[in-house]
Protein backbone atom coordinates (compact mmCIF):
# COMPACT_ATOMS: atom_id res chain seq x y z
CA UNK A 1 0.00 0.00 0.00
CA UNK A 2 2.85 2.35 0.92
CA UNK A 3 4.58 1.55 -2.32
CA UNK A 4 1.50 2.56 -4.25
CA UNK A 5 1.23 5.97 -2.46
CA UNK A 6 4.84 7.12 -2.75
CA UNK A 7 4.87 7.72 -6.52
CA UNK A 8 1.63 9.68 -6.28
CA UNK A 9 2.92 11.88 -3.41
CA UNK A 10 6.25 12.45 -5.12
CA UNK A 11 4.41 13.59 -8.21
CA UNK A 12 2.32 16.09 -6.19
CA UNK A 13 5.44 17.37 -4.45
CA UNK A 14 7.17 17.88 -7.79
CA UNK A 15 4.16 19.72 -9.14
CA UNK A 16 4.08 21.93 -6.04
CA UNK A 17 7.80 22.71 -6.40
CA UNK A 18 7.35 23.55 -10.08
CA UNK A 19 4.44 25.82 -9.22
CA UNK A 20 6.49 27.61 -6.57
CA UNK A 21 9.41 28.01 -8.94
CA UNK A 22 7.08 29.51 -11.56
CA UNK A 23 5.57 31.93 -9.01
CA UNK A 24 9.02 32.99 -7.79
CA UNK A 25 10.08 33.58 -11.37
CA UNK A 26 6.98 35.69 -11.97
CA UNK A 27 7.61 37.68 -8.78
CA UNK A 28 11.24 38.19 -9.78
CA UNK A 29 10.21 39.50 -13.18
CA UNK A 30 7.67 41.85 -11.61
CA UNK A 31 10.23 43.18 -9.12
CA UNK A 32 12.80 43.69 -11.84
CA UNK A 33 10.22 45.50 -13.95
CA UNK A 34 9.28 47.75 -11.02
CA UNK A 35 12.95 48.50 -10.37
CA UNK A 36 13.47 49.32 -14.02
CA UNK A 37 10.37 51.55 -14.06
CA UNK A 38 11.42 53.38 -10.91
CA UNK A 39 14.94 53.79 -12.23
CA UNK A 40 13.56 55.19 -15.47
CA UNK A 41 11.26 57.54 -13.53
CA UNK A 42 14.15 58.65 -11.31
CA UNK A 43 16.35 59.25 -14.34
CA UNK A 44 13.59 61.28 -15.98
CA UNK A 45 13.18 63.31 -12.78
CA UNK A 46 16.94 63.90 -12.63
CA UNK A 47 16.99 64.96 -16.27
CA UNK A 48 14.13 67.40 -15.66
CA UNK A 49 15.86 68.77 -12.56
CA UNK A 50 19.03 69.24 -14.59
CA UNK A 51 17.06 71.18 -17.20
CA UNK A 52 15.47 73.38 -14.52
CA UNK A 53 18.85 73.97 -12.88
CA UNK A 54 20.38 74.85 -16.22
CA UNK A 55 17.59 77.35 -16.92
CA UNK A 56 18.05 78.89 -13.46
CA UNK A 57 21.78 79.19 -14.07
CA UNK A 58 21.08 80.86 -17.41
CA UNK A 59 18.65 83.28 -15.74
CA UNK A 60 21.24 84.03 -13.07
CA UNK A 61 23.86 84.78 -15.71
CA UNK A 62 21.39 87.01 -17.56
CA UNK A 63 20.55 88.81 -14.31
CA UNK A 64 24.25 89.32 -13.55
CA UNK A 65 24.69 90.71 -17.04
CA UNK A 66 21.74 93.10 -16.61
CA UNK A 67 22.93 94.24 -13.17
CA UNK A 68 26.37 94.90 -14.61
CA UNK A 69 24.82 96.77 -17.52
CA UNK A 70 22.50 99.00 -15.49
CA UNK A 71 24.87 99.67 -12.59
CA UNK A 72 25.70 103.39 -12.85
CA UNK A 73 28.67 103.02 -10.50
CA UNK A 74 31.25 100.34 -11.35
CA UNK A 75 33.92 100.45 -8.64
CA UNK A 76 34.85 104.14 -8.78
CA UNK A 77 33.35 105.08 -12.17
CA UNK A 78 30.08 107.02 -12.28
CA UNK A 79 28.08 107.28 -15.51
CA UNK A 80 25.72 110.23 -15.90
CA UNK A 81 23.06 111.19 -18.43
CA UNK A 82 22.51 114.94 -18.18
CA UNK A 83 19.58 115.98 -20.35
CA UNK A 84 20.38 113.25 -22.90
CA UNK A 85 24.16 113.72 -23.01
CA UNK A 86 26.42 111.07 -21.43
CA UNK A 87 29.30 111.81 -19.06
CA UNK A 88 31.72 109.55 -17.18
CA UNK A 89 33.60 110.60 -14.06
CA UNK A 90 34.59 109.26 -10.63
CA UNK A 91 33.03 109.32 -7.19
CA UNK A 92 36.01 111.30 -5.90
CA UNK A 93 35.35 114.04 -8.45
CA UNK A 94 31.63 114.32 -7.71
CA UNK A 95 32.25 114.23 -3.95
CA UNK A 96 35.20 116.64 -3.98
CA UNK A 97 33.02 119.10 -2.04
CA UNK A 98 29.51 119.00 -0.54
CA UNK A 99 26.95 119.47 -3.31
CA UNK A 100 23.89 118.04 -5.05
CA UNK A 101 25.95 114.91 -5.82
CA UNK A 102 26.53 114.19 -2.13
CA UNK A 103 22.85 113.36 -1.70
CA UNK A 104 22.57 111.73 -5.12
CA UNK A 105 25.31 109.17 -4.53
CA UNK A 106 24.27 108.49 -0.95
CA UNK A 107 20.81 107.35 -2.19
CA UNK A 108 21.76 105.16 -5.14
CA UNK A 109 18.73 102.89 -4.72
CA UNK A 110 16.41 105.76 -5.50
CA UNK A 111 18.00 107.38 -8.57
CA UNK A 112 16.50 107.39 -12.07
CA UNK A 113 18.43 105.33 -14.65
CA UNK A 114 18.25 105.50 -18.43
CA UNK A 115 18.17 102.48 -20.75
CA UNK A 116 21.97 102.19 -20.57
CA UNK A 117 22.09 102.28 -16.79
CA UNK A 118 23.37 105.85 -16.48
CA UNK A 119 22.12 108.09 -13.67
CA UNK A 120 19.66 110.47 -15.31
CA UNK A 121 19.65 114.16 -14.36
CA UNK A 122 16.95 116.25 -16.00
CA UNK A 123 19.01 119.37 -16.69
CA UNK A 124 20.44 121.21 -19.71
CA UNK A 125 23.84 119.60 -20.45
CA UNK A 126 25.34 122.67 -22.16
CA UNK A 127 27.35 123.94 -19.17
CA UNK A 128 27.76 120.65 -17.33
CA UNK A 129 31.32 120.07 -18.67
CA UNK A 130 32.38 123.32 -16.97
CA UNK A 131 30.86 122.18 -13.68
CA UNK A 132 32.43 118.73 -13.97
CA UNK A 133 35.86 120.17 -14.79
CA UNK A 134 35.59 122.52 -11.83
CA UNK A 135 34.90 119.59 -9.50
CA UNK A 136 37.97 117.86 -10.96
CA UNK A 137 40.56 120.61 -10.41
CA UNK A 138 38.62 123.49 -8.77
CA UNK A 139 39.57 125.95 -11.48
CA UNK A 140 37.12 127.75 -13.75
CA UNK A 141 37.43 129.93 -16.86
CA UNK A 142 34.28 131.72 -18.03
CA UNK A 143 35.91 134.20 -20.44
CA UNK A 144 34.24 132.56 -23.44
CA UNK A 145 30.75 133.03 -21.95
CA UNK A 146 28.69 136.13 -22.59
CA UNK A 147 26.47 137.63 -19.88
CA UNK A 148 23.43 135.55 -20.84
CA UNK A 149 25.47 132.35 -20.84
CA UNK A 150 27.01 133.27 -17.49
CA UNK A 151 23.54 133.69 -16.06
CA UNK A 152 22.53 130.26 -17.40
CA UNK A 153 25.74 128.76 -16.02
CA UNK A 154 25.11 130.20 -12.56
CA UNK A 155 21.59 128.78 -12.62
CA UNK A 156 23.11 125.33 -13.11
CA UNK A 157 25.67 126.01 -10.38
CA UNK A 158 22.82 126.82 -7.99
CA UNK A 159 20.97 123.65 -8.95
CA UNK A 160 24.05 121.49 -8.34
CA UNK A 161 24.76 123.45 -5.14
CA UNK A 162 28.44 124.07 -5.89
CA UNK A 163 28.78 126.55 -3.06
CA UNK A 164 32.40 127.54 -3.66
CA UNK A 165 31.38 128.64 -7.16
CA UNK A 166 28.28 130.41 -5.91
CA UNK A 167 30.39 132.49 -3.54
CA UNK A 168 33.37 133.26 -5.75
CA UNK A 169 32.20 133.91 -9.31
CA UNK A 170 31.39 137.31 -10.75
CA UNK A 171 27.80 137.38 -11.95
CA UNK A 172 26.44 139.57 -14.75
CA UNK A 173 24.53 141.65 -12.22
CA UNK A 174 27.44 142.24 -9.88
CA UNK A 175 31.00 143.49 -10.26
CA UNK A 176 32.12 142.13 -6.90
CA UNK A 177 34.29 139.02 -6.66
CA UNK A 178 31.76 137.15 -4.56
CA UNK A 179 28.02 136.68 -4.70
CA UNK A 180 25.83 137.58 -1.76
CA UNK A 181 24.06 134.62 -0.17
CA UNK A 182 20.61 134.15 -1.66
CA UNK A 183 17.66 134.85 0.65
CA UNK A 184 15.63 131.99 2.07
CA UNK A 185 12.58 131.56 -0.16
CA UNK A 186 10.47 129.12 -2.13
CA UNK A 187 12.24 127.74 -5.18
CA UNK A 188 10.87 129.52 -8.29
CA UNK A 189 11.81 126.52 -10.48
CA UNK A 190 9.03 124.56 -8.78
CA UNK A 191 6.25 127.05 -9.48
CA UNK A 192 3.37 125.59 -11.52
CA UNK A 193 0.24 127.21 -12.92
CA UNK A 194 -1.53 126.24 -9.69
CA UNK A 195 0.83 128.21 -7.40
CA UNK A 196 1.49 131.96 -7.11
CA UNK A 197 4.53 133.34 -5.26
CA UNK A 198 4.77 136.82 -3.72
CA UNK A 199 6.73 138.82 -1.12
CA UNK A 200 10.12 137.97 -2.65
CA UNK A 201 9.06 134.33 -3.08
CA UNK A 202 8.39 133.84 0.65
CA UNK A 203 4.59 133.55 0.37
CA UNK A 204 2.71 131.01 -1.72
CA UNK A 205 -0.93 130.77 -2.67
CA UNK A 206 -2.32 127.59 -4.25
CA UNK A 207 -5.35 128.17 -6.47
CA UNK A 208 -8.73 126.94 -5.27
CA UNK A 209 -10.21 123.93 -7.01
CA UNK A 210 -10.25 120.17 -6.64
CA UNK A 211 -8.03 118.36 -4.15
CA UNK A 212 -5.18 117.52 -6.53
CA UNK A 213 -1.98 117.76 -4.49
CA UNK A 214 0.72 120.41 -4.96
CA UNK A 215 4.18 120.78 -3.44
CA UNK A 216 6.93 123.35 -2.96
CA UNK A 217 10.60 123.15 -2.04
CA UNK A 218 12.72 125.91 -0.49
CA UNK A 219 15.91 127.06 -2.16
CA UNK A 220 18.47 126.23 0.50
CA UNK A 221 19.14 124.13 3.58
CA UNK A 222 18.65 125.97 6.87
CA UNK A 223 18.64 124.91 10.51
CA UNK A 224 15.53 126.79 11.64
CA UNK A 225 12.60 128.37 9.85
CA UNK A 226 9.10 129.57 10.64
CA UNK A 227 5.99 128.73 8.64
CA UNK A 228 2.98 131.02 8.92
CA UNK A 229 -0.14 129.05 7.93
CA UNK A 230 -2.88 131.39 6.73
CA UNK A 231 -5.27 128.88 5.17
CA UNK A 232 -5.44 125.15 4.37
CA UNK A 233 -8.07 123.08 2.59
CA UNK A 234 -9.16 120.36 5.03
CA UNK A 235 -7.66 119.35 8.37
CA UNK A 236 -5.05 117.07 6.78
CA UNK A 237 -4.34 119.19 3.72
CA UNK A 238 -0.82 120.30 4.69
CA UNK A 239 2.48 118.49 5.26
CA UNK A 240 5.50 120.43 6.61
CA UNK A 241 8.98 118.96 6.72
CA UNK A 242 12.17 118.28 4.76
CA UNK A 243 12.90 116.39 1.53
CA UNK A 244 15.67 115.59 -0.92
CA UNK A 245 15.99 117.95 -3.86
CA UNK A 246 16.78 115.47 -6.63
CA UNK A 247 13.66 113.31 -6.15
CA UNK A 248 11.18 116.02 -5.14
CA UNK A 249 7.87 115.94 -7.04
CA UNK A 250 5.95 119.14 -7.73
CA UNK A 251 2.69 117.18 -7.94
CA UNK A 252 2.88 116.29 -4.27
CA UNK A 253 2.73 113.13 -2.17
CA UNK A 254 6.42 113.41 -1.30
CA UNK A 255 5.51 112.43 2.26
CA UNK A 256 5.11 108.80 1.15
CA UNK A 257 8.37 108.42 -0.80
CA UNK A 258 10.72 111.33 -0.26
CA UNK A 259 11.36 113.20 2.96
CA UNK A 260 10.04 113.50 6.51
CA UNK A 261 6.87 115.43 7.33
CA UNK A 262 4.42 116.54 9.99
CA UNK A 263 0.81 116.53 8.82
CA UNK A 264 -1.62 119.21 9.98
CA UNK A 265 -3.60 116.47 11.71
CA UNK A 266 -0.64 115.95 14.09
CA UNK A 267 0.73 112.72 12.60
CA UNK A 268 4.20 111.97 11.19
CA UNK A 269 5.02 110.51 7.79
CA UNK A 270 8.45 109.64 6.39
CA UNK A 271 10.40 107.82 3.71
CA UNK A 272 11.70 105.50 6.45
CA UNK A 273 8.26 103.86 6.61
CA UNK A 274 6.75 106.13 9.25
CA UNK A 275 3.05 106.48 8.44
CA UNK A 276 0.41 108.08 10.66
CA UNK A 277 2.58 108.06 13.79
CA UNK A 278 1.01 110.22 16.54
CA UNK A 279 3.17 113.26 17.38
CA UNK A 280 1.04 116.15 18.56
CA UNK A 281 -2.50 117.46 18.56
CA UNK A 282 -4.09 118.81 15.40
CA UNK A 283 -2.41 121.95 14.12
CA UNK A 284 -4.70 125.01 13.95
CA UNK A 285 -4.89 125.37 10.18
CA UNK A 286 -5.69 129.08 10.03
CA UNK A 287 -3.33 131.69 11.41
CA UNK A 288 -0.93 129.44 13.31
CA UNK A 289 2.87 129.48 13.20
CA UNK A 290 5.05 126.37 12.99
CA UNK A 291 8.79 126.56 13.73
CA UNK A 292 10.86 123.78 12.15
CA UNK A 293 14.26 122.89 13.62
CA UNK A 294 16.59 120.70 11.54
CA UNK A 295 20.08 120.17 12.94
CA UNK A 296 22.41 117.38 14.06
CA UNK A 297 20.35 114.83 12.17
CA UNK A 298 17.14 115.65 14.02
CA UNK A 299 13.86 117.31 12.98
CA UNK A 300 11.53 118.84 15.56
CA UNK A 301 8.62 121.28 15.53
CA UNK A 302 7.25 124.11 17.67
CA UNK A 303 3.56 124.98 17.18
CA UNK A 304 2.42 128.42 18.34
CA UNK A 305 5.37 128.55 20.76
CA UNK A 306 4.93 125.01 22.12
CA UNK A 307 7.91 122.64 21.63
CA UNK A 308 6.52 119.28 20.53
CA UNK A 309 9.83 117.41 20.83
CA UNK A 310 11.93 115.44 18.36
CA UNK A 311 9.92 114.06 15.44
CA UNK A 312 12.68 112.30 13.48
CA UNK A 313 16.28 111.32 14.26
CA UNK A 314 19.32 110.07 12.31
CA UNK A 315 18.43 112.14 9.24
CA UNK A 316 20.95 112.99 6.47
CA UNK A 317 22.27 116.56 6.32
CA UNK A 318 21.21 117.40 2.75
CA UNK A 319 17.43 117.82 3.16
CA UNK A 320 15.57 120.98 2.13
CA UNK A 321 12.50 122.57 3.75
CA UNK A 322 9.53 121.16 1.84
CA UNK A 323 5.74 121.20 1.74
CA UNK A 324 2.95 119.01 0.37
CA UNK A 325 -0.50 120.62 0.32
CA UNK A 326 -3.93 120.71 -1.27
CA UNK A 327 -5.32 123.53 -3.38
CA UNK A 328 -6.49 126.57 -1.48
CA UNK A 329 -3.43 126.61 0.78
CA UNK A 330 -1.69 129.88 1.63
CA UNK A 331 1.45 130.10 3.77
CA UNK A 332 4.66 132.08 4.18
CA UNK A 333 8.17 131.20 5.35
CA UNK A 334 10.91 133.00 7.26
CA UNK A 335 14.42 131.84 8.15
CA UNK A 336 15.25 132.13 11.85
CA UNK A 337 18.75 132.72 13.25
Q: State the average pLDDT over residues 143-163.
A: 88
All structural domains of the chain? 73-168 (3.30.710.10), 188-335 (2.60.120.920)
Q: State the average pLDDT over residues 72-83.
A: 78
210 or 217, which is more confident = 217
pLDDT higher than 80, residue 257: yes
Q: Give pLDDT, residue 39.
A: 82
pLDDT higher than 90, residue 174: no
Alpha-carbon gap, residue 229 to 231, rounded angstroms? 6
Q: State the average pLDDT over residues 89-103.
A: 85
In tens, the pLDDT along 265-322 reads 999 999 989 999 999 988 887 788 999 999 999 999 999 999 999 999 999 888 889 9
Amino acid sequence: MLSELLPSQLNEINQTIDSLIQKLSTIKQQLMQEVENKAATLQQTLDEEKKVLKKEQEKMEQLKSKVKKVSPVIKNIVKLNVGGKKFSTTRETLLSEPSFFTGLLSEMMGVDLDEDGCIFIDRDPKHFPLILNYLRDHEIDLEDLNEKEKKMFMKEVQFYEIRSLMLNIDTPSSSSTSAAPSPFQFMPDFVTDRITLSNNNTTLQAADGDSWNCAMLCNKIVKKWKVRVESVQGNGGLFIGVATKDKFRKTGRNYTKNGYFLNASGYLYGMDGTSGKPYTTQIPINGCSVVCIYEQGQLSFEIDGKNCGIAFSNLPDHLYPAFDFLRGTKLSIEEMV
